[in-house]
Structure 1
Amino acid sequence: MTVARTVELEGHIIDSGMMETCFGIIMDMGGSFEVEEFAIGRHKTETSYARLQVEADDEATLQSIVHELHQNGANPADPMDATLEPAPADSVVPPGFYSTTNHPTDVRYDGEWVPVGDIEMDCAVVVETDGEPTARTEVLSAVEAGDLIVTGDAGIRVKPPDRPRGQEGAFGFMQGGISSERPSESTISKIAEAIAETNREDGEVLAVCGPALIHSGAREAFARLVREGYVDMLSIGNGFAVHDLERDLYGTSLGMDTESLDHPRKGHKHHIY
């Protein structure tokens, strides 16, 4: 006996690739679907709409599929209220808290959609229920005991970019073709020459490293430089450590597989978890 749930896609779902992505998610995860309604925008400024009935063999599989569809812009046709749990202590969030993206987000409370203010990535969502309900993002260190934190995926509506270019995923801002965080070959050569010259003069090399070293896949090469004595000291922040731990635990950096450059499902949560 199969279980089913209806989801909706709205926006530039064809030229953005959203619809194709959602179809692939359903089939790759062992589900099936039926298109119940499909309205195509007739002009560039018009949006399209699709209503899908998603089926799976069991509830757990269906929930996993719906979760992934939600991360790619699909929303349940029969949304429930968001699940709220109090923070157990200052700077501590409940297990399974919802980790935000940098896209416009609403949470459902008491049957109404409430926009999340001050949206930014890698935050918790705090809902204030006194008077007119409001929602805001909060960095984890600023969460206070008793704050009502959104957990799980129910009652959350995310609007991804209408027309993303390429397969950038949740951390597309790190994927540009030219970036000061990705040094060119000539710059690397100059750094190598400077290190060699410093060693010849019995000087010491201090490496000031940021998360880009992990994100670019240079972690192992840098570790070799340290082991072989080319680097004497490190100056790093906690961002470097977080990226390094994410790479060890999940094989990703900012949700991106540093070997294949793919964006695994749920990868955007690795960094904050």
Structure 2
Amino acid sequence: MEIAEIELKGHIIDSDILNKVFDTIIDLNGDFEVKEFKIGKHKKDPSYARILIISEMREVLEDILTAVHNLGAIVPDINDAIWEEAIGDKIVPSGFYTTTNHPTFVRINNKWVEVENIGMDCLITIEGYRAICKPIDEIKRGDKVLVGRTGIKVVPPPRPREKNPFFGFMTNQVSSERPNISFAKKIAQQIVRIKEDEGKITVVGGPAIVHTGASESLEWMIRNGFVDLLLAGNALAVHDIEKSLYGTSLGMDIEKGEPTVGGNKNHIYTISEIIKAGSIKNAVERGILKKGIFYECIVKDIPFVLAGSIRDDGPLPDTITDTMVAKKMMREKLKYSNMVMMMATMLHSIAVGNMLPSFVETIVIDVNPLVITKLVDRGSIQAVGIVADIGSFLPLMVSELRKLVEY
């Protein structure tokens, strides 16, 4: 028989981590024996469990250890983390350690060091006394890349002890039957709390914000300091600027909800006008663009990243067509976010979700429940999903937000 010992520490009961560990061991055809178990007596006291994992095969035991490690289990040892040098750019050593999106610590020279810029499905490199999370495209020849599990521990965020059930950890069930007015109020309250604490809020948006008529609500949020970063694709910017210049979105009159004669040309005219100006900022400064989401971003000096794709018309000069460059820029700017609100965009929501640590409050608003399910299934278990049309939900949420801040 193959045997290994693991330890679990923290709020392992109320965050359901202990049950997940037991289920994982059984699901992977292992067995376990609890050798020691201490339950925290008071609200802030952590619990502790020491567990033997038993398997008939070494390969199975290794699979179990890998799975429970990602849930926060550690193999008791006093050894430093192990690393090997990358033999070339984007070439990783055999047995490299793959990160989760949970806070992670690495033992270097007998001291635990928190990993910087943690994100899922990346690698960890050692630079002096620092441990840094990097995606494979940033690995360079000679980088010291961690291998194995020795000297590495993962700390999943606990379920908050204070009364805050909406943003509680792992409260991400998807349902279209939830009362949107209640959610709108709770999100608005949380936005105000974050800003009072000088936190940062990121919006990830799709073009449906414009053609469902919700763009003025997002404009209000930007104008009044409730958006610190905007991440989107070329389409959101084109639709927004088209609406500002011509009152249409893909030729559809936004106010009347009817197609306009020859209006299908408007988005091409829009792209041409911004290219002629040289950038969105230039268009604002020259008086060409006088309103809209991106007008407010320029006026309020709110950074935005437009990540291009093969579907784009134009694209606008502000759109980054090299997706790896766009991803790197988005990852860098996201480091300062306390809340990320994803609105009506499947691809950008999933992409940004993969870059976020699990302690960042994440809200996904989409009319398609599959968007929320895909995001959670890919590891963003902190995401709270709201199945709703952004055209109705965003104005509702902003209405609640205005009640809180406009006296």
**Other-structure match for 1:200:** 262
Residue 158 (structure 2) pairs with residue 162 (structure 1): yes
Identity %: 28
**Other-structure match for 1:23:** 22
RMSD: 4.3
Residues 138, 35 of structure 1: alpha-carbon distance in 2 compared, 3 angstrom cutoff: closer
Residues 62, 94 of structure 1: alpha-carbon distance in 2 compared, 3 angstrom cutoff: same
Note the 1:1-273 alignment, pairs <5 A. 2-78=1-77, 81-90=80-89, 92-101=91-100, 103-109=102-108, 112-116=110-114, 118-121=116-119, 123-128=122-127, 134-137=129-132, 139-140=134-135, 143-163=139-159, 165-167=168-170, 180-181=203-204, 187-190=210-213, 194-197=249-252, 200-203=262-265, 205=267, 232-233=313-314, 235=319, 237=321, 238=323, 254=353, 258=371, 260-261=373-374, 263-264=376-377, 267-268=378-379
Contact 2:251 2:265 in 1 (8 A): no
Contact 2:108 2:129 in 1 (8 A): no
Pick the structure with greater CA Rg.
Answer: 2
Q: Distance in 2 between matches of 1:62 and 1:99?
A: 18
Count of aligned pairs: 233
Contact 1:22 1:69 in 2 (8 A): yes
Q: Distance in 2 between matches of 1:152 and 1:167?
A: 28
Q: Tell me the TM-score normalized by structure 1.
A: 0.65
Residues 136-164 of structure 1 show CA distances to partners (whole Å, capped at 9, x for unaligned) of 20545554422221123333112221326
Contact 1:73 1:158 in 2 (8 A): yes
SS in 2 for 1:35: strand
Q: Distance in 2 between matches of 1:259 and 1:3?
A: 39
Residues 36, 138 of structure 1: alpha-carbon distance in 2 compared, 3 angstrom cutoff: closer
Residues 117, 66 of structure 1: alpha-carbon distance in 2 compared, 3 angstrom cutoff: closer
Residues 85, 40 of structure 1: alpha-carbon distance in 2 compared, 3 angstrom cutoff: same
Contact 2:159 2:169 in 1 (8 A): no
Residues 83, 66 of structure 1: alpha-carbon distance in 2 compared, 3 angstrom cutoff: same
* Paired letter, 1:137: I
Residues 6, 92 of structure 1: alpha-carbon distance in 2 compared, 3 angstrom cutoff: same
Residues 61, 188 of structure 1: alpha-carbon distance in 2 compared, 3 angstrom cutoff: farther
Q: Distance in 1 between matches of 2:158 and 2:372?
A: 29
Residues 224-256 of structure 1 show CA distances to partners (whole Å, capped at 9, x for unaligned) of xx6xxxx745556516998xxxx99xxx7546x
Residues 182-228 of structure 1 show CA distances to partners (whole Å, capped at 9, x for unaligned) of 669775424696213377334153799967x99xxxxxxxx9xx6xx
Q: Distance in 2 between matches of 1:262 and 1:56?
A: 33
Residues 32, 151 of structure 1: alpha-carbon distance in 2 compared, 3 angstrom cutoff: same
Where do 5+ consecutive residues of structure 1 fail to align?
170-175, 215-222
Residues 261, 104 of structure 1: alpha-carbon distance in 2 compared, 3 angstrom cutoff: closer
Residues 38, 138 of structure 1: alpha-carbon distance in 2 compared, 3 angstrom cutoff: closer
Contact 1:31 1:54 in 2 (8 A): yes
Where do 5+ consecutive residues of structure 2 fail to align?
161-167, 173-182, 188-201, 214-238, 253-259, 272-303, 328-345, 355-369, 381-407
Q: Distance in 1 between matches of 2:157 and 2:21?
A: 15
